[in-house]
Amino acid sequence: TRLLDNEIKIMKSDVMRISHELQAQNEKIKENTEKIKVNKTLPYLVSNVIELLDVDPQDTEEDGAVVDLDAQRKGKCAVIKTSTRQTYFLPVIGLVDVEKLKPGDLVGVNKDSYLILETLPAEYDARVKAMEVDERPTEQY
């Protein structure tokens, strides 16, 4: 009976630990959902996907020096060109499905972090293309 009592105590402590972890994870999910809601506020900065890259970290020797975390990521990265004529490399693409993105897609990105928040429909393409400045104007006043 003592063995069974010990087993019951162990299982009860496991249940308590797991329920506490579940509560902590639910709080993290709620917190992250709020962050996403705040960061997905309009207006987006309109951008074009220029290139999608598959990046695998090279097998380099670790010597204890500072490690670039962006260089250690695996997966897809993107190069985008914003409507303000700036080009950015995104080591983390954002909230869209990477497999559905292709070069030339019109996307809405966060103004501060440049993370891709959603792909824009093609019907906006003509209006946005007309507003986009391809080259610097040569006229001077």
| Phi/psi of residue 55, nearest 5 degrees | -115, 125
The answer to whether 122 and 131 have CB atoms below 8 angstroms apart is: no
The answer to whether 14 and 87 have CB atoms below 8 angstroms apart is: no
pLDDT at 60 over 60: no
Residue (of 42, 45, 70) closest to 55 by Cα position: 70
Which residues are CB-contacts of 120 (< 8 A; sequence separation ≥ 6)? 44, 46, 106, 107, 108, 128
- This prediction's pTM: 0.55
Q: 14-55, pLDDT tens digit by residue?
A: 999 999 999 999 999 999 998 888 777 777 788 888 888 887
Q: Determine the Cα–Cα distance for residues 50 and 102; give it in Å rounded to an integer.
A: 8
